[in-house]
Amino acid sequence: MGYIGRFAPSPTGPLHFGSLVAAVASWLDARAAGGQWHLRIEDVDAPRTVPGAEDAILRALEALGLAWDGPVVRQRERTARYAEALEGLRRRGLAYRCRCSRREIADSGVRGIDGIVYPGTCREAAVPPGEPAATRFTVPADTVEFADRVQGMVAQRLAEEIGDFVVHRRDGLFAYQLAVVVDDAELGVTDVVRGADLLDSTPRQIALQRALGFPTPRYLHVPVATRAGEKLSKQTQAPAVDPATGAAALRAALAFLGQAVPPPASTAEILAAAAAGWDPSRIPPVRVREVTEGNGSPYP
Ligand code: GLU
């Protein structure tokens, strides 16, 4: 089977060094395998979308020579597919409506790896269709395990560490966890390469893939770039990657990823050399990595 990869930025700000690292890693992994690389704009959480961010991301990728295959996929155009998947979960008896408030869930107490573990209060409640409610996925009782290509074995007991999680929000929006699984399956993604901030979400996504009868791709999670211990993001005012210094940005991303850094050249030449030398076994197997002069990264 041919390699199909993707880059899936959320349009919450311009491309910064942290998102560039994920873009470069997924692009190189796809190109080194002679595969396809798709671009998906993850705007399922519409209220978080920043006007102009999508455009800025597309222009930055283009300017850097990170060319994608096929049309750009936009989650906002795909809600009908998410609704079908939700219906599929319901039909299989794997989803239920939940009217618990944040307060009620917080009061229930047990902290997991991503907030409070939902105690299953509404599992048998049969909340009537007219009543505003979220929909939760009934997580499997067994441990979900997978071998990440960089981070190694990951095992999670969803029932104890996460609990039944929301796939459709009370405000009508579909949850990222459901959207990403539906979208990756439809693109036929064989390899997910992204930041390790999503490592803990992967077992949830694998459980949804199994419930919906979708194949599970291979996963490779690269370290998240931090500065003074903080993840680079719009919130930490990480500057936008400047296409005028694109070659330097690419070289910094390669250094961050533990790759051989080609000498200064055009962005096209740097990308070609990096694809020829791409070696995922050199990526530091850590979840976060500080951006320093020491690892060759002048960014941000
Ligand atoms: N949209 C997510 C982000 O920008 C990435 C999701 C993914 O790659 O699965 O962090």
Domains of the chain: 4-78+179-295 (3.40.50.620), 79-177 (3.40.50.620)
Helix or strand (DSSP H, E) at 197 = none
pLDDT of residue 295: 67
Helix or strand (DSSP H, E) at 115 = strand 115-116
Cis peptide preceding 300, ω within 30 of 0: yes
Answer yes or no: are the C-beta atoms of 299 and 291 closer than 8 Å. yes
The string of pLDDT tens digits covering residues 154-188 is 999 999 999 999 999 999 999 999 999 999 999 99
C-alpha–C-alpha distance, residues 162 and 203, integer Å? 10
Q: How many helices (DSSP H) and strands (DSSP E) are in the chain?
A: 9, 15
pLDDT of residue 298: 62
* Ligand 1 centre distance from Cα of residue 130 (Å): 33
For the CA of 22, the closest atom of ligand 1 is 8
pLDDT of residue 109: 72
C-alpha–C-alpha distance, residues 164 and 108, integer Å? 14
pLDDT of residue 86: 98
pLDDT of residue 296: 61
Lookup: tokens for 235 = 């919130």
Neighbours of 44 (CB within 10 A): 22
DSSP 126: -
The string of pLDDT tens digits covering residues 61-78 is 999 999 999 999 999 999
* Ligand 1 centre distance from Cα of residue 10 (Å): 6
Q: Which residues line ligand 1 (CB under 6 A)?
A: 8-10, 42, 180, 194, 198
pLDDT of residue 129: 84
Pocket test for ligand 1, best of 198, 208, 231, 233 (most atoms within 8 A of CB): 198
C-alpha–C-alpha distance, residues 8 and 72, integer Å? 10
Pocket test for ligand 1, best of 4, 10, 209, 235 (most atoms within 8 A of CB): 10
pLDDT of residue 292: 81
Nearest to 75 by CA among 152, 151, 182, 164: 182
Which residues does the chain have with pLDDT short of 50?
Answer: none
